[in-house]
Amino acid sequence: MKIDIPEPESLIICVSGPSGVGKDTVIRELQRRRPEMRHLISMTTRCPRGKERDGVDYFFTSKDHFEKLLAKGEIVEYDQYMDNYYGTPLAPLNDVIDKGIDALLDVTVAGALAVKRKFPHAHTVFLLPPSIEALTERLRRRGTEKDQVIKKRVEAAANEISQARDFDFVIVNDDLQNTVDTLYAICTAERARPACQASNIAKILKEFRMT
């Protein structure tokens, strides 16, 4: 008896939401609790903010180089936001999938939906701000952008939030620990699906001489 499960054993978790909703903080805390997950950083053409480092926070690159990668099909998904490109390089994602490692992506709303189309087994999670006021205050606390840019980000958030219903999961990020607890539970539940346990199933069946 042979069990043929086409989905890869690794999870792809796409975390998205409007700018300032707290994606970076949530992802860092989830990684602290689940160090086996690999956070695949995005590539962007925007300038680094504050203490951001190339290869750690983002892969910072030129617009010309990004467009060359696009032409070669080496970007899984991409989006243009505030006149900058954001995208996920294909090679690192394929690498973790091949190794059975769970991937954690911090992507734009459009990017998350694009990943889902290309990798149907991916799971999309939308982080929702508790209010417009809270979102605006978080953007101001970053201290990296002018009021005009903050206003544009808040305006863009309305369109992004309208797409939340297209995601697999929606979490209101009004409390960090509650948000991470919920995301952790999602990862745990998805890890228990048959596709993610294919090797364990096959191992037990082999013991029964059924493979």
> Which tens digit of pLDDT belongs to each residue from 61-109?
999 999 999 999 999 999 887 789 989 999 899 999 999 899 999 998 9
Average pLDDT estimate for 153-170: 93
Q: Does position 186 have pLDDT exceeding 70, yes or no? A: yes
Alpha-carbon gap, residue 123 to 89, rounded angstroms: 18
Domain definitions of the chain by residue range: 12-41+101-207
Sheet holding 169-172, edge to edge: 38-40, 103-106, 12-16, 123-128, 169-172
pTM of the entire structure?
A: 0.83
- Please tell us whether the domain made up of 12-41+101-207 is placed in CATH 3.40.50.300: yes
